[in-house]
Amino acid sequence: AKGNNIPSQKPASSALSQIEGPTQKDRHGFKYSQKKPTRNVRQEAQYMSVMSLEVHVNTRGTLVPNPEEDEISCIFWCVQDGETEINDDDDSAGITAGIIALSENESLAARISPTMVSEFEEEQTELDLLTRLVDVVRQRDPDILTGYEVHNSSWGYLIERARYKYDYDLCDELSRVKTNSHGRIGKGNDRWGFNHTSSIRITGRHMINIWRAMRGELNLLQYTMENVVFHLLHQRIPHYPFQDLTKWFTSKRPRDIAKVINYFLSRIQLDLKIIESNELISRTSEQARILGIDFFSVFSRGSQFKVESLMFRIAKPENFILISPGKKQVGQQNALECLPLVMEPQSDFYTSPLLVLDFQSLYPSIMIAYNYCYSTCLGRVVSWRGQNKLGFIDFRRPAGLLELFKDQINIAPNGIIYAKQEVRKSLL
């Protein structure tokens, strides 16, 4: 009836709780949602070509691929030409993809569409498959070899398989200098590289382990390719177990084989997109140019090496050179005279909050204030055992120098003389 006032039902969501939940930064749950910066300046080519590679292996049941037992069924490779200028509108610019398959009767080519990849080749034996890959690498001549996990799959699986099955050193074949190559692989040969970057060394080419690089660049809970692509590229990609990929690849239906091929083709292209989106190569190249070190040392060397390289670039225009002492010379240095002041609380169990006060940039502040530097050091006030020893060298100060700069020097508490900033500004 018209006069009946029927109360409207509240939605179920409002009846659950009166407390609103926290607003997410984005409704999709991306951890890195920043967009690519728009480039107003036309960026030139980096002139570093990248080759990504993934391997399909028909496994035994639920087991993972084993290079000692399982032969390689198909190799998927993708090359991004370094001479092509970067175009934000077209991600596939300068990218060439190819497949090298193992097929005894050449039946795989008849079931694959020729439009899927630029280059498709079939080989009769596994050794011919590896030899053909070497020819592709030499023809394309990439500067960087990469894969999402280069030890257990990708390049590492190829190298291990060639070594176990055919006693074939693939590192030497893939290198640019074949005669004096020092290619090596394995955590036994290079434990640090296996744990931090890549233990695969190929002369003339850099090897980038993408998941290791992303582990240092991104703060995620999981570093699988699917999770990295979701947070970095904002794409959802499937993950298929090895058992399903083997079942589809050995199937006679073209639709199942197409699933495997599209799966690996997308992975090799996503490898390049991850590197491009994170600007890994461009930032590493720029840092190498600034510090004056080679490309791979940015990944593999520590902060001391980088600081010394930067100091050398600053010191060289002022006719300074950094000396490199040997082990015997290091042992002949004077013993420690002073220890740095470090105030630490006593090790104990505290039931109340503990406040620890510390200086902010104490040592750099003192160095800047008093102009402490190797380039401004004038030796000791009093010689020690008849020598004016600095480190492991004997510093010979010209006669009459202290009388000339007696009002323009600073004397440190340990008796070392430094010139003031009016005389010379320190390099440090």
Give the chain's largest Cα–Cα span.
116
- Cα–Cα distance, 205 to 170 (Å, whole number): 13
Q: What span, in angstroms and rounded, lies between the C-alpha atoms of 343 and 411? A: 25
Quote the Cα angle for 266-271-275, to 5°.
Answer: 145
pLDDT tens for the chain, residues 1 to 428: 455 555 555 554 445 555 555 555 555 566 665 555 544 445 555 678 899 999 999 998 888 888 888 889 999 999 988 766 555 555 566 788 889 888 765 566 666 655 566 788 888 888 999 999 999 999 988 989 999 988 888 898 999 998 888 888 888 888 888 654 444 454 445 554 445 455 678 888 888 888 888 888 888 888 888 998 998 888 899 999 999 999 998 888 888 888 999 999 999 999 999 988 888 888 888 888 888 888 888 888 888 888 888 888 888 888 888 888 888 888 888 777 777 777 778 888 989 988 887 777 888 888 888 888 888 888 888 777 767 777 788 878 777 777 778 788 888 888 888 888 888 888 87
Distance of CA 345 to the CA centre of its chain: 38
The candidate with the shortest Cα–Cα distance to 197, out of 184, 183, 182, 209, is: 209
Interatomic CA distance for residues 158 and 67, integer angstroms:
8
Task: Output the pLDDT for position 403.
Answer: 77
β pairing state of 50-57 and 144-147:
parallel
Q: What is the mean pLDDT of the chain?
A: 79
| Predicted local distance difference test score (pLDDT) of residue 19 | 58
Q: How many residues appear in the chain? A: 428
Could you tell me if 99 and 123 are in contact, meaning their C-beta atoms sit under 8 angstroms apart? no
Secondary element (H or E) of residue 208: strand 206-209
pLDDT at 48: 84
Q: Where do the domains of the chain lie, and which CATH numbers do they carry?
A: 50-278 (3.30.420.10), 323-419 (no CATH)
422: three-class secondary structure by DSSP: coil
Residue 230 structure tokens: 């979701």
Whole-number Å distance between alpha carbons of 270 and 30: 17
Closest CA to 228 of 236, 120, 243: 236
Q: Which two tokens stand for residue 415?
A: 């008796």
Q: Is 145 exposed, middle or buried (0-12, 13-18, 19+ CB in 10 A)?
A: buried
Please name the residue ranges forming H helices in 206-326. Answer: 210-217, 225-232, 242-249, 254-278, 280-291, 297-300, 303-315
Confirm if 182 and 199 have CB atoms less than 8 A apart.
no
Give tens-digit pLDDT for 369-388. Answer: 888 888 888 888 877 776 77
DSSP, collapsed to helix, strand or coil, labels residue 139 as: helix
pLDDT in tens, 30-74: 666 555 554 444 555 567 889 999 999 999 888 888 888 888 999
